[in-house]
């Protein structure tokens, strides 16, 4: 067995901390021994399905202890995990199923109905007994009790996570077992995580930031306290009741948590257990930092910046958060970062250029997307004007991030913009093309439409849809149709009608989004 796989972490934790709580969720809990037993039962069942090696298995469900068992069960086999956020609509799930040829889906009773809408001929497993010939975890835990062993290579592909790209369709990024171990190791190091930490499991487990909470827990033999947010006070109760010490969040979570009357928040003394707060997936505002400092007075706040193509690039040390809140920080351990111009030269101080990520935590590449891989994964030769490539050693791969940044006099990085027109909202990347495609396909009364973003401090970017038609269509009618086909975070917050849309002078087939944005913001 490789030392660089999640299965090894789980086996070692079971040996050394058998009776310690690994997972807690409301009134439920599992020790490391109990977690190991259930993971083995699920892994055994999956292997007996007889699927080809490296088959993709999706997990499409709400958060629960069973969901974590499912994720770890898949990672204890030679199959590949494909986490599917519960926010996706059936047609989006169907696209991902077809894109990476998912052979099996693990789900819950609620999402089982959504899967039934899809033409899926693979295996379906439900957490709860659901009838209709669908096997369940309840049955697996009852009947699958034989010993289970496995041998997993750290170089093997472990996970494919999906986010929306320029073409409007999700692009899967392939992550190896070694990537998962490395990311748990480096985060545990610079956050100074400890064995007695209780890590909040607030984040959804569809992307690497959320999944990393599970793996850091295993790496440090800590405890993961799962939480499904509904109201702000629910989150505060979770932190208090579960005695949480580490809280990973996204900026949208901070906006939601503190979007109420400050007088209604629990006393700050009740949060003395909290020692660490992390934020990634968007820009942190001064208000967010202030709210955290006032409520979690003993906590260190880490602001972090990651890439789709690599686990993480930078973090801002807590000592600098209030001094330079707009900075994305400096490179994390084992990473070198460069800012280069179009000629491949290193940018001067405060000169904007593309961020190049060299070193650790680079993922394997995009699934079935050679053009996107060519765009983002480059030979280290692009740094030849900056680093010493003596001996013509150019086989090393670096990431050309598409993020445009600059560096100040003290070496801190600042994010400026993205090379493409992707929208970043509520911690998600959204392609305008995806929304425009749904409009063209499902609302024929609309002649032309343009989707873009305007700044919104609470959610980073606000999605705007501007359309032209022979007559005005009610906003409610448009949103009702969009909600049938798009995840909730992709729904525009502003819908604007115009008799005609401005066009780009050099291309009369292209709507001038810059002009529309100026009209809305000036």
Q: Where are the alpha helices (DSSP H) in 76-118?
A: 90-100, 109-116
- DSSP for 286-343? HHHHHHHHHHSTT-EEEEEE--SSBS--EEE-GGGTTTSTT--BEEPTTEEEEEE-TT
Give the confidence band of 165 by pLDDT, cuts at 50, 70, 90: very low
Q: Tokens at residue 395, please?
A: 């086989």
Mean pLDDT of the chain: 92
Give the confidence band of 286 by pLDDT, cuts at 50, 70, 90: confident
Cα distance between residue 432 and residue 418, in whole Å: 14
What pLDDT score does 445 carry?
94
Higher-confidence residue: 141 or 415? 141
In a domain, 81, yes or no: yes
Q: Of the residues 131, 152, 173, which one is the last residue of a structural domain?
A: 152
In a domain, 171, yes or no: no
Highest mean pLDDT among 316-320, 323-327, 433-437, 440-444: 316-320
What is the count of structural domains for the chain?
2
In a domain, 317, yes or no: no
In a domain, 246, yes or no: no
CB 447 within 8 A of CB 471: no
Higher-confidence residue: 224 or 255? 224
Give the confidence band of 174 by pLDDT, cuts at 50, 70, 90: very high
Quick check: 419 pLDDT over 90?
A: no
- Please give the average per-residue pLDDT across 282-303, as a whole number: 90
- State which residues form the domain around 63: 30-152
Quick check: 24 pLDDT over 60?
A: yes
Give the confidence band of 508 by pLDDT, cuts at 50, 70, 90: low
Tell the burial category of 6 from Cβ atoms under 10 Å away from its Cβ (0-12, 13-18, 19+): buried
Quick check: 164 pLDDT over 70?
A: no
Query: Of 425, 88, 89, 431, nearest to 250 (Cα)?
Result: 425
State percent of the chain over pLDDT 90.
75
In a domain, 430, yes or no: yes
Read off the CATH number of the domain in which 119 is found. 3.40.50.980
Read off the CATH number of the domain in which 444 is found. 3.30.300.30
What pLDDT score does 262 carry?
65
Cβ atoms within 10 A of the Cβ of 446, count? 18
Cα distance between residue 171 and residue 369, in whole Å: 8
Quick check: 199 pLDDT over 80?
A: yes
Quick check: 507 pLDDT over 90?
A: no
What pLDDT score does 261 carry?
66
What pLDDT score does 429 carry?
74
Instruction: Name 398's bridge partners.
Output: 378
Q: Of the residues 120, 152, 184, which one is the last residue of a structural domain?
A: 152
Quick check: 181 pLDDT over 80?
A: yes
State percent of the chain over pLDDT 70.
96
In a domain, 392, yes or no: no
- Please give the average per-residue pLDDT across 337-350, as a whole number: 95
DSSP run (H or E) holding 237: helix 232-241
CB 82 within 8 A of CB 159: yes
In a domain, 57, yes or no: yes
Q: Of the residues 114, 133, 152, which one is the last residue of a structural domain?
A: 152
Q: Would you give the DSSP letter of residue 268?
A: G
Give the confidence band of 252 by pLDDT, cuts at 50, 70, 90: confident
In a domain, 488, yes or no: yes
What pLDDT score does 263 carry?
67
Residues 308-323: tens digit of each pLDDT: 999 999 999 999 998 9
Give the confidence band of 166 by pLDDT, cuts at 50, 70, 90: very low
> CA angle, corner 140, sides to 139 and 146, nearest 5?
130
What pLDDT score does 295 carry?
94
- Please give the average per-residue pLDDT across 61-74, as a whole number: 97
- Please give the average per-residue pLDDT across 18-34, as a whole number: 97
- Strands 276-279 and 314-316, sheet pairing: unpaired
What pLDDT score does 437 carry?
83
Please give, one letter per residue, the 3-state secondary structure of 44-57.
HHHHCCCCCCCCEE
């Amino acid at each position: 067995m490789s030392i660089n796989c999640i299965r090894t972490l789980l086996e070692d934790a079971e040996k050394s901390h058998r009776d310690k709580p690994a997972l807690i969720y409301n009134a439920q809990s599992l020790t490391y021994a109990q977690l190991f037993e259930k993971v083995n039962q699920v892994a055994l069942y999956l292997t007996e399905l007889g699927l080809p090696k490296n088959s993709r298995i999706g997990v499409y469900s709400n958060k629960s202890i069973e969901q974590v068992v499912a994720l770890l069960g898949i990672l204890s086999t030679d199959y590949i995990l494909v986490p599917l956020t519960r926010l996706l609509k059936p047609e989006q799930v169907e696209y991902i199923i077809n894109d990476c040829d998912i052979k099996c889906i693990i789900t819950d009773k609620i999402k089982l109905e959504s899967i039934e809408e899809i033409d899926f001929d693979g295996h379906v497993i439900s957490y709860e007994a659901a009838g209709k010939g669908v096997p369940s975890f309840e049955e697996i835990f009852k009947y699958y009790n034989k010993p289970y062993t496995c041998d997993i290579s750290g170089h093997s592909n472990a996970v494919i996570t999906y986010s929306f790209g320029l073409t409007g369709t999700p692009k899967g990024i392939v992550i190896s077992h070694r990537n998962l171990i490395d990311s748990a190791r480096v985060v545990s190091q610079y956050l100074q995580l400890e064995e007695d930490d209780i890590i909040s499991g607030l984040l959804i487990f569809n992307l690497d930031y959320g999944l990393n909470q599970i793996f850091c827990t295993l790496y440090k033999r800590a405890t993961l306290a799962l939480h499904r947010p509904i109201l702000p006070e629910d989150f505060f109760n979770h932190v208090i009741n579960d005695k949480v010490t580490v809280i990973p969040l996204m900026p949208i979570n901070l906006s939601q948590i503190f979007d109420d009357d400050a007088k209604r928040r629990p006393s700050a003394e009740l949060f003395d257990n909290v020692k660490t707060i992390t934020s990634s997936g968007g820009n942190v505002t001064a208000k967010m930092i202030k709210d955290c400092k006032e409520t979690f007075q003993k906590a260190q706040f880490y602001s972090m910046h990651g890439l789709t193509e690599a686990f993480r690039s930078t973090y801002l040390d807590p000592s600098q958060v209030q001094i330079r809140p707009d900075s994305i920080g400096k490179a994390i351990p084992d990473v070198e970062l460069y800012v280069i111009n179009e000629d491949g030269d290193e940018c001067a101080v405060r000169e904007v250029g593309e961020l190049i990520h060299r070193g650790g935590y680079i993922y394997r590449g995009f699934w079935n997307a050679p053009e996107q891989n060519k765009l983002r994964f480059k030979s280290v030769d692009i740094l030849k004007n900056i680093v010493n490539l003596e001996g013509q050693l150019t086989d090393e791969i670096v990431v050309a991030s598409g993020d445009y940044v600059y560096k100040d006099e003290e070496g801190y990085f600042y994010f400026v913009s993205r090379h493409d027109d992707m929208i970043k909202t509520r911690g998600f990347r959204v392609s305008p093309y995806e929304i425009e495609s749904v409009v063209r396909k499902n609302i024929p009364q609309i002649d032309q439409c343009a989707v873009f973003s305007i700044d919104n401090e609470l959610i980073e970017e606000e999605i705007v849809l501007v359309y032209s038609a022979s007559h005005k269509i009610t906003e409610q009618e448009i949103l009702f149709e969009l909600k049938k086909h798009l995840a909730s975070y992709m729904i525009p917050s502003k819908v604007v009608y115009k008799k005609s849309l401005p066009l780009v002078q050099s291309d009369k087939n292209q709507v001038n989004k810059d002009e529309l944005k100026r009209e809305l913001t000036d």
